[in-house]
């Protein structure tokens, strides 16, 4: 019987142990570190006896034991087996993004029901002090934003169908009042609830467990009454806390992977996850998926609210994480950027919207069919 190392496989050290983690069907298993060398010998289909001869510095017993444990762990697959076929298919479908995206997807797939007694299905941890509900910078200069919060009377259907991603902005500044309405409506608290261990707050977007792990940072370029620079939105105070002075169009573009259009926006919004707010309750790593989904929820509400206020919204996942974190004064470990939003007054180009699809475009399109 010939064997081959799984194509979909990640190996790592964890708590001093060497772990092999095949996916999608495998589970993490600890093996002796010497097994990594044996795995290397099975890059293509090979029988164990031939592998034994290619590893003369290892005893036959060592190789046999390694092959046995690696086969049981699902990291060595038998030729023609269902597992081998699925491994090939998975590797083919994910090859563009492998190994990072495929491993994250499958390593966090399915709810882990092996939680400690009393932990609950979602992995509720033992009581521990919750992080602060609102991030704040008490020593930072601040601007208290205008109240009352108004200006969102546009019909929902009109806003929903008018929403477009804009990449063309005018030079007209956004007023401080408009920015304040947008921030309060999207990122401010709606009400407060009792979680059973402490108070939490809700926003206008759904957020997993109401943990509100996403903080709001702004890069101001063209807003009336605000100097260009980097600010934090304090939702408790409805204020902007100045973190760093100075931001240019060129810098904004560089931070967002050299997308020149974003430098013409009036402001950027960086959504940054304070991970402990989520992890203090949920032990399962699957919850990092929820953090990403939460960022998307806020992004959609941001886009609709900006549209209702007459602004042109945009979003991008293409940004340079490390310098963005640095400009927002984040440590990029427990407090890390996940998503970038932007807005400004729409330019005369209609937001650089793509043209309506023509007959030629539809002729080149496969509208439906089997996925296989």
In Å, what is the CA distance from 371 to each residue of 122, 283, 367, 368?
32, 35, 12, 9
Does the global pTM surpass 0.75?
yes
Which residue, 107, 124, 155, sits at the end of a domain? 107
Whether residues 173 and 61 fall in one domain: no
Structure tokens at 135: 């991030």
Classify residue 288 by its DSSP letter.
H
In a domain, 357, yes or no: no
Confidence at residue 58, expressed as pLDDT on a 0 to 100 scale: 85
219: enclosing H helix or E strand: strand 214-220
Q: What are phi and psi of 336, to 5 degrees?
A: -140, 145
Distance (Å, whole) CA 250 – CA 264 = 9
Between the CA atoms of 263, 266, 268 and 269, what dihedral angle is there, to the nearest 10 degrees? -170
Distance (Å, whole) CA 216 – CA 135 = 9
Tally of domains within the chain: 2
Distance (Å, whole) CA 226 – CA 232 = 13
Confidence at residue 231, expressed as pLDDT on a 0 to 100 scale: 99
Confidence at residue 112, expressed as pLDDT on a 0 to 100 scale: 62
Confidence at residue 130, expressed as pLDDT on a 0 to 100 scale: 84
Whether residues 91 and 212 fall in one domain: no
Whether residues 168 and 280 fall in one domain: yes
Residue with tokens 């996925």: 371
Whether residues 83 and 166 fall in one domain: no
Residues 182, 302: contact at Cβ < 8 Å?
yes
Whether residues 181 and 308 fall in one domain: yes
Distance (Å, whole) CA 37 – CA 12 = 14
Q: Which residues of 77-107 are buried (b: 16+ CB within 10 A; e: fewer)?
A: beeeeebbeebeebbeebeeebeeebbbebe
Structure tokens at 301: 């509400």
Domain coverage including residue 176 = 142-352
Confidence at residue 41, expressed as pLDDT on a 0 to 100 scale: 93
Whether residues 271 and 328 fall in one domain: yes
3-state secondary structure of 128: coil
Confidence at residue 351, expressed as pLDDT on a 0 to 100 scale: 57
- Length reported for the chain: 372
CATH number of 287's domain:
3.40.109.10
Confidence at residue 148, expressed as pLDDT on a 0 to 100 scale: 73
Structure tokens at 334: 């427990």
In a domain, 361, yes or no: no
Q: Tally Cβ neighbours within 10 Å of residue 164.
A: 17
Which residue, 84, 107, 130, sits at the end of a domain? 107
Residues 200, 132: contact at Cβ < 8 Å?
no
Which residue, 107, 128, 162, sits at the end of a domain? 107
CATH number of 19's domain:
3.90.930.70
Residues 189, 179: contact at Cβ < 8 Å?
no
Whether residues 103 and 227 fall in one domain: no
In a domain, 199, yes or no: yes
Averages of pLDDT over runs of 10 residues in the chain (372 residues) are 95 95 90 90 93 87 91 95 96 95 93 48 60 96 89 93 95 97 97 92 95 98 98 98 98 98 98 96 93 98 97 98 98 97 90 83 89 66
Whether residues 184 and 284 fall in one domain: yes
Confidence at residue 116, expressed as pLDDT on a 0 to 100 scale: 41
Instruction: Name 282's bridge partners.
Output: 124
């Amino acid at each position: 019987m010939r064997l081959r190392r799984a194509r979909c496989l990640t190996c790592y050290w964890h708590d001093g142990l060497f772990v092999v983690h095949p996916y999608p069907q495998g589970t993490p298993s600890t093996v002796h570190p010497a097994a990594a060398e044996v795995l290397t010998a099975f890059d293509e289909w090979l029988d164990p006896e031939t592998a034994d001869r290619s590893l003369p510095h290892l005893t036959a017993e060592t190789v046999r034991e390694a092959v046995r444990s690696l086969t049981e762990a699902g990291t060595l697959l038998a030729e023609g087996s269902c597992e081998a076929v699925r491994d090939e298919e998975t590797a083919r479908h994910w090859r563009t993004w492998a190994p990072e995206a495929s491993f994250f997807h499958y390593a966090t797939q399915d709810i882990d029901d092996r939680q400690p007694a009393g932990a609950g299905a979602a992995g509720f941890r033992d009581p521990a002090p919750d992080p602060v509900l609102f991030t704040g910078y008490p020593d930072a200069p601040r601007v208290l934003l205008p109240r009352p919060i108004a200006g969102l009377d546009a019909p929902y259907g009109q806003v929903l169908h008018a929403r477009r991603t804009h990449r063309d902005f005018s030079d007209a500044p956004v007023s401080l009042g408009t920015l304040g309405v947008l921030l309060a409506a999207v990122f401010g608290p709606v009400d407060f609830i009792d979680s059973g261990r402490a108070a939490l707050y809700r926003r206008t977007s759904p957020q997993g467990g109401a943990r509100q792990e996403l903080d709001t940072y702004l890069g101001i370029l063209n807003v009336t009454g605000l100097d260009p620079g980097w600010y934090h939105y304090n939702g408790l105070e409805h204020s902007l806390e100045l973190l760093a002075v100075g931001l240019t169009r060129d810098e904004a573009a560089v931070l967002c992977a050299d997308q020149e259009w974003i430098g013409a926006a009036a402001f950027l919004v960086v959504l940054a996850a304070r991970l402990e707010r989520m992890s203090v309750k949920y032990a399962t790593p699957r919850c990092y998926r929820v953090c990403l989904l939460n960022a998307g929820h806020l992004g959609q509400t941001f886009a609709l609210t900006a549209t209702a206020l007459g602004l042109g919204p945009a979003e991008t996942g293409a940004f340079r994480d490390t310098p963005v974190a640095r400009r927002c004064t984040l440590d990029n470990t427990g407090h890390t950027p996940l998503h970038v939003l932007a807005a400004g007054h729409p330019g005369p180009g209609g937001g650089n919207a793509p043209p309506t699809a023509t007959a030629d475009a539809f002729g080149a399109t496969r509208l439906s069919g089997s996925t296989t």
